[in-house]
Structure 1
C-alpha cells in the first residue's frame, strides 16, 4: 500500500537491510534507504516507492532529511558497529516522537575464554583494550575488522606482522596503505568468505592471530570461530558496542509489522 503522508526511513548498509528493502518494496510501501557508498546502493531494488540516498547523515542534516522525505517511522538496520548513525536516529526519533525499531542480526552465543579450557577465542570489549594489551606482539596477525580502525594499528607495524582484509574500495585501500600496510599485506575481498578460502588464507600467510568483530553469521564469525578451534589459532573477537535501543528485533516479520503499523 502507498501512503502519500509519509514513509519509512530504512538505515541500510547491511545484508539484512537489503532483505528488508526487498520486502518493503514488494508491499509498495514508501521508503527511503540511506547508505554510505554507491556500491551499497546498487544492492537495493529499484522501484518507484523506494529511494536510496548515498551519503553520511549528521545531526545538522537530519532534520532536513526527515522533513524532505516525510519520515513517519525509522527502521534501523545499520551495521552493529555503526553506533553513530544509530544514536543520531534514536535522538531524532525521541525529539520528534517518531517510532523507531532497531533490526539487528543475531549474535552468536559466546563463552568467556580462559587459560583453563585452552580456548583459542578471546573476547575484548574494544579495540583500545586490544591495542593496550600484549596480544599482537611478535605475532602474524590477520585483521578482518574493516578499514576504519586500521590506523589504530600503525604503531604495531614494527612489533608484529600485520595483514588486512578489507572491502575492495579505493577508500579502504587508501586507508590501509596510509596505516602502514604494504600492498602484499592487503587483500581486498567482499564477504561472504567461504570456509575453504578462509582456511587457505590463514595457511598462506602463516597466521597466528586473527582479529574480527562479533558480526554474526553474516560477517563470517561462525566460520572463523570453527577454524580457530580446528587449527588452534588465536581468534580475538571485539564485542559489539552497547547501545540503549528503544526497541529491537531480529525477526523480519516483526520489522514488517512495524512498517505496516505506521505507513
Structure 2
C-alpha cells in the first residue's frame, strides 16, 4: 500500500515538474490517497439552501520573459590606405577618324511669279509757278509798316476802342493843341471828342504814307493848331487817311526798330 502511494506521488510530481514554469515555486502538497482519506462524516440534516459563492479565480500574472542574449559583433579590422595607382604610360588607343560634316541641303525656292505689267504713269500738266515778288527796299518796307499801323489806329478809333489805339502810340502824344504824357489821360480826352462825332457813319477808304516834305508839297503845311515845330525834326513820316472824304493825319517818328505815331490832327 505504501509502495502504491509512493509511486502515485512520484508520477504526479514528475508531471507537475514538467508543466511548471521556469521560475521555481513551492511544490504543492501531495493529495492523500483514497486509502489515507478519512471516512466521510454522517450526513447532517438538510439546511436551507444558500446561494453558492462564485469561485474566486486566482489571477496569475504571466512570468516576465527572460531578456534575449545580445550578440557581440566582432570589431572590424583597420584597413591600410592603398597607394594611388600610378598613371599608365601607355598611349591612349587611336580613335577612328570622324567623317567630314555633310553640307546641309539647299532650300528649294518656290517658282517666282510671272512679272506683272508696270502701272501706267500719269503725266500731270505742269502748273506754272508764280513769279517771285521782287525784294523790297528798306524804304518800301518802312512805308508798308507805317501803312499797316495807321490803318489799325484809324479802324480802332472808328469802332470807339480808344484804349487799343492809345496802347500803340508814342508818349508824350500830341492831340491837336494838347499834349498827354500817359495813355490814361489821352483816353479820357479822346473819348469826349469822339462822342461829338458820328464815327459809325465814317468809313476809312484808304491810307497814304508820305514823307513830311512830300506831304507839304502835295497838301500844304500841317495845320497851325497842331502846335508842333516840325522844321528841326528828321525822319518824320505822315499817314493820311481818307475818312469819308475828310483827311485824318498821324505823324510818325522812329521808336527803336519801328515807327510809332506821336501826333494826330484832322
Q: Which TM-score band applies after superposition, normalised by the shorter structure?
A: under 0.3
TM-score (norm 2): 0.18
Between the two structures, name the one with larger relative contact order (CA 8 Å, sep ≥ 6).
Answer: 1
Specify the structure having the higher radius of gyration (Cα). Answer: 2
TM-score (norm 1): 0.18
Pick the structure with more strand per residue.
1
